[in-house]
Structure 1
Amino acid sequence: MAGTVLGVGAGVFVLALLWVSVLLLCALLFRASGAARFSVIFVFLGALIVTAILLLFPRASDAPAPEAETKIVDAFFIGRYVLLAFLTAVFLGSLFLVLIHHILEPIYAKPLRSY
């Protein structure tokens, strides 16, 4: 359902814009004097005709279009394995340093006492 905002299509917004502009134009024309005051009737009838045309001749079909199959693509595939290789190298280096400095700590000989 592409092209929808808040669950409604573009046609609802076109009709709302049409009627808001017609109501504003009618409010302005009511304040006019003379023959311009009676043009409110033509503006209102024109909006009714445009609304009827938009409602009676829709562009889209009633049945929704079939959805295309969605492909899942891993765009970060190589980067993920480079990161995994880097983290593995850091882990093995850290394990080697722990092995040298803590587990295989050298025991130095104490000097013999001489009497």
Structure 2
Amino acid sequence: MAGTVLGVGPGIFILALLWVLTLLLCVLLSRASGLARYSVILVFFSAVVITLVLLLFPRASEFPAPATEIKIVDPFFIGRFVLLALLSVTFLGSLFLVLVHHILEPVYAKPLRVN
């Protein structure tokens, strides 16, 4: 199922592209004059032959191969934790500096003017 999109394989997309191109070529050739106008028949029958070849000789087997157990290995495990530790220390240090310099900033009393 690795090569599927929306549950269909690449063969359906190849056939759809083939027939869209055939339809486009037939419309373009139908506007031509002379002998080129009758080449629509050749284009149509060549698309039919290609479609039959693709349908009658499939590449993949009908039954998928049995799934094997996949073992997931993380080679950057230690590096990821070192990076997490450095980011945590940096975050805690900057949080401490914000606390000291902005939140706990001293507010001095202003002298009273006596008239």
Q: Residues 84, 38 of structure 1: CA spacing in aligned structure 2 closer, same or farther, 3 A cutoff?
A: closer
- What is the aligned-residue identity percentage? 70
Distance 2:84 2:24 in 1: 63
Instruction: Give a deviation string over 1:6-47, Cα, whole Å, max 9, x none.
Output: 211111111011000000000000000111111101100000
TM-score, normalised to structure 1, is: 0.65
Flag the structure with larger Rg.
1
Give the aligned CA root-mean-square deviation in angstroms.
2.4
Paired position in structure 2 for 1:63: 63
Q: Residues 35, 75 of structure 1: CA spacing in aligned structure 2 closer, same or farther, 3 A cutoff?
A: same
| Higher relative contact order, chain-length normalized (CA < 8 Å, sep 6+) | 1
Unmatched tracts of structure 2, length 5 or more: 89-115
Structure 1 runs (4+) deviating above 2 angstroms are: 72-87
Unmatched tracts of structure 1, length 5 or more: 88-115
Paired position in structure 2 for 1:50: 50
